Amino acid sequence: MKRWTFALCLFLGAIGVLLFFEHRAHLLGALPYLLLLACPVIHILMHRRHGTHAPSHGATHDPVCGMIVDPGHAAEERSVGGQRYFFCSRACVEKFDADPAVYTHSGGHAQHHAC
């Protein structure tokens, strides 16, 4: 690192520390609002990973927790009454196996429970 680059970094760091200590009361008072402003940005950035809220073609919902599950990457699957069910985790499979009737309402929607 060149000597002037080091001096510039040291100078900017010192200014940053001084500004923080001089204005921290204002910054800490605005912190809740800054966090609220960050929420939409974080939400938008997270959607880059998984796309939309709707299941992709061929995806289905875990009958226990309601999570969207890609059948090709499901933790496990079960078949009850000719209907195939896909699960996001082993914990959901164990809950389903304990009482499948709770999660396979005929003619209605299953109640979703957290994993």
- Please indicate, yes or no, if residue 88 is contained in any of the structural domains: yes
pLDDT at residue 86, rounded to an integer: 92
CB 64 within 8 A of CB 115: yes
- Please give the model's pTM, rounded to 2 decimal places: 0.47
pLDDT at 102 over 70: yes
Average pLDDT of the chain is 80
| 14: region left, alpha or beta (phi > 0 left; psi from -120 to 50 alpha) | alpha
Give the H/E segment covering residue 77: strand 76-80
pLDDT at residue 107, rounded to an integer: 40
Alpha helices by DSSP H, listed for the chain, are 3-50, 90-98, 100-103
Provide the residue range defining the domain that includes 66: 60-103
Residue bearing tokens 């200590």? 21
47 and 2 in a common domain? yes
45 and 7 in a common domain? yes
pLDDT at residue 37, rounded to an integer: 85
pLDDT at residue 3, rounded to an integer: 87
- Please indicate, yes or no, if residue 111 is contained in any of the structural domains: no
Summarised one tens digit per residue, pLDDT across range 22-61 is: 888 777 788 788 788 888 877 777 665 554 455 557 788 8
